């Protein structure tokens, strides 16, 4: 699908369509079962290189990625279970009796950075109690599909692909234009939201939840510091993700013609 919106804002990477599918496309990037990987890095590879990525319930890369894609509560399989994850995201597991042993196992399975975070905590939330509250608020679900597939929008077929959302990786000026366009015809003044969660969760389960609303909102992502670090080499420093549930994307696509995107202010910003 060719997009006038993508062309008009001058996107330097591919727009990424997230679809549900019953099979993985031939040649798709896919993590090995049981091996760590960052879901957002696959989005970035699709955006930067035009590749196709696929995930299922055995190849989602990490626990947060499995949750983010819609494969139930994968945190139950985290080392130390839910409590281990709650400590990992906050103050760490070093006070746990088995922490050192588990940390050594993680180092063999993943890398020393993850092992260090397991022991000492990522500290993105104040404590385990706050993390449990965060988990209760996450819109986890078990999607009715075998695979989540991410592919360039221009290689997608809306007639045959079950597209759930479109994600663009944008600079500050492109981001500003998308915020304006998301509010161009929609009701209220808050048609772009900034939920807090893992980068893949914003592009996945949070976007799925928006599809249940009468007027789905766009979602801002890559406020996840770990995800930003993982994709900096492929996308650069000055980008955010902007995820549009499919109905909103279609509306914004149709609203390019006749909008501010064809007027002087945007032209001057876009050219300089």
Tens of pLDDT, residues 117-144: 888 889 999 999 999 999 999 999 999 9
Q: Are 226 and 64 in contact (CB under 8 A)?
A: no
Where do we find the tokens 């663009």? 168
Look at 14-23, 62-71, 93-102, 231-240 and tell me which has the smallest mean pLDDT: 93-102
Please state, in angstroms and rounded to a whole number, the distance separating the CA atoms of residues 200 and 135: 15
Domain boundaries, the chain: 4-22+153-271, 73-137
Q: Give the model confidence (pLDDT) of 100-114 as tens digits.
A: 666 666 666 556 677
Q: pTM, whole model, 2 decimals?
A: 0.93
Q: Provide φ and ψ at 192, rounded to 5°.
A: -130, 125
Cα Rg, the chain, nearest whole Å:
19
Please state, in angstroms and rounded to a whole number, the distance separating the CA atoms of residues 15 and 135: 30
**Two tokens, residue 169:** 């990786």
Non-local (6+) Cβ contacts of 250 within 8 A are: none
Q: Are 138 and 72 in contact (CB under 8 A)?
A: no
């Amino acid at each position: 699908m060719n997009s006038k919106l993508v062309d008009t804002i001058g996107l330097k990477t591919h727009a990424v369509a997230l679809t549900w599918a019953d099979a993985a496309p031939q040649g798709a990037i896919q993590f090995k079962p049981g091996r760590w990987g960052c879901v957002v890095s696959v989005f970035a590879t699709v955006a930067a290189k035009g590749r196709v990525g696929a995930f299922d319930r055995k190849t989602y890369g990490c626990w947060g990625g499995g949750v983010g894609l819609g494969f139930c509560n994968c945190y139950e399989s985290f080392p130390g279970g839910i409590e281990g994850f709650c400590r990992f995201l906050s103050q760490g597991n070093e006070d746990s009796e088995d922490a050192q042993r588990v940390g050594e196992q993680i180092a063999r399975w993943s890398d020393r950075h993850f092992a260090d975070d397991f022991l000492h905590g990522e500290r993105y939330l104040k404590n385990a109690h706050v993390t449990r509250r965060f988990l209760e608020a996450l819109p986890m679900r078990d999607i009715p599909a075998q695979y989540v597939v991410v592919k360039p929008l221009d290689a997608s077929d809306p007639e045959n692909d079950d597209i759930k959302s479109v994600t663009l990786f944008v600079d500050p000026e492109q981001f500003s234009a998308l915020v304006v366009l998301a509010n161009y015809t929609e009701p209220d003044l808050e048609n772009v939201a900034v939920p807090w969660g893992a980068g893949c969760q914003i592009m996945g389960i949070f976007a799925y939840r928006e599809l249940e609303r009468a007027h789905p909102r766009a979602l801002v992502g890559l406020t996840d510091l770990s995800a930003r670090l993982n994709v900096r080499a492929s996308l650069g420093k000055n980008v955010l993700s902007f995820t549009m549930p499919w109905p909103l994307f279609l509306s914004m696509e149709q609203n390019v013609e006749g909008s501010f995107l064809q007027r002087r202010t945007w032209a001057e910003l876009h050219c300089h």
